[in-house]
Amino acid sequence: MIDNAFSGTWDSRAAHLRSDVASLEHALQDPKTRVLPFWRGKPHLGAQGLGLVGPDHAMLVQSDRPWLYLGDENGHAHFAADISRWEPEVLDRAALAMFTDTSIQIHPAGPKGSHFGELRMAMAHLPGTQAAMAATARAVFNWHQTHRFCSACGAPSRVAMAGWERHCPACGAKHFPRTDPVVIMLVTHGNSVLLGRSKGWPERMYSALAGFVEPGETLETAVAREVREETGLVTQRIRYMASQPWPFPNSLMLGCVAEATGRDITLDDELEAARWMTREEVLSAWSGQHPEVIPARRGAIAHYLIGQWLGGHV
């Protein structure tokens, strides 16, 4: 488990095997091969981490082929399979639509104690390799769901290359998984840091500001623009800190730090609130003692950036 979830790696993605149909079919006949079931964006979870199953497991009957080939870990092939066609007997649809979905779904064929759960809730508790695999699978499955038609001619496209491409049978175009760059920035001024909250977030949650990088922008330009648009603040000495894959739905978070030249905040429509907080106030929030603020969730890059600032590393 790591502070910056989803940033781990596994032994090999083995991209050279994605077009090797025979090798993949052989792997699918191996009982040691592991498969991660997904249900509507939720990974299958067990008592000790991901709820990996064998390729012949009963719940996988409700998945579509080809499965997503993730590569090799600990000498065994790993796949992910989307079983979203399965309909639980009881389903809280309102919970599924919430920012933080705390509902779980239990498949009747799953091992005892296993369930499908929201990845945001599980990310800080998963081993680094497992969190990275789950994030990768979630992002790729979401891309397939939202890119079912060829962007060149509009015809339905097909899954190819073990889940890593879509091919159009009508015009021959090839399409690849999309990743959207997002800057997330810790804005400081003296002994204070700027935190904001978006509409619809859990009550009292505050985090670092963030926004999509637009075409033609550097990271530094995007940071300065987003901060000024959302709060009216001018920034300087912008620098990159760290990155994090963020599969909600398909982003790469690019963590930066910037210094504000002043403290007067003018909110736009994107933020519900923004506030300057001293180190002492942030520490109070981290310990659960602040009456008005709870911090970004552990495992998110915002939590990492704030922790680096609190530790005097920024």
**Which H, E and C letters describe 95-140, residue by residue?**
HHCCCCCCCCECCCCCCCCCEECCHHHHHHHCCHHHHHHHHHHHHH
Q: What is the pLDDT of residues 234-252, one digit of tens each?
A: 999 999 999 999 999 999 9
Q: Which CATH number fits domain 180-310: 3.30.450.20, 3.40.630.30, 3.50.50.60, 3.90.79.10?
A: 3.90.79.10
pLDDT above 90 for 54: yes
pLDDT at residue 297 in the model: 87
The arithmetic mean of pLDDT across residues 193-221, rounded, is 95
pLDDT above 60 for 1: no
Fold annotation for 15-146: Nucleoside Triphosphate Pyrophosphohydrolase (3.90.79)
Q: What is the pLDDT of residues 288-303, one digit of tens each?
A: 899 999 988 889 999 9
pLDDT above 50 for 121: yes
Tell me how far apart the alpha carbons of residues 70 and 56 are, in angstroms, rounded to a whole number: 17
Contact (CB, 8 A) for 23 and 17: yes
From the list 307, 267, 196, 250, the residue with the least C-alpha distance to 6 is: 250
Tell me how far apart the alpha carbons of residues 207 and 78 are, in angstroms, rounded to a whole number: 34
DSSP letters, 3-72, are SBTT----SB--GGGTT-HHHHHHHHT-TT-EEEEEETTEEEEETTEE--B-TT-GGGGGSPSSPEEEEE
pLDDT above 90 for 33: yes
pLDDT at residue 44 in the model: 98
Query: Among the listed ranges 52-61, 99-108, 162-171, which one has the minimum average pLDDT value?
Result: 99-108
CA 159-15-137 angle, to 5 degrees, is 55
Q: Where are the domains of the chain?
A: 15-146, 148-178, 180-310
Q: Which residues pair with 276 in a beta bridge?
A: 194
pTM for this predicted structure: 0.93
Instruction: Name the burial class of residue 89, with classes exposed (0-12), middle (13-18) and buried (19+) by CB atoms within 10 angstroms of its CB.
Output: exposed
Query: What percent of the chain shows pLDDT beyond 90?
Result: 86
The arithmetic mean of pLDDT across residues 165-194, rounded, is 97
- Cα R_g (the chain), whole angstroms: 21
Q: What is the pLDDT of residues 150-160, one digit of tens each?
A: 999 999 999 99
Instruction: Give me the chain's average pLDDT, please.
Output: 94
Q: What are phi and psi of 199, to 5 degrees?
A: -65, 140
Same CATH fold, 180-310 and 15-146?
yes
Token pair for residue 265?
A: 């905040």
pLDDT above 80 for 2: no
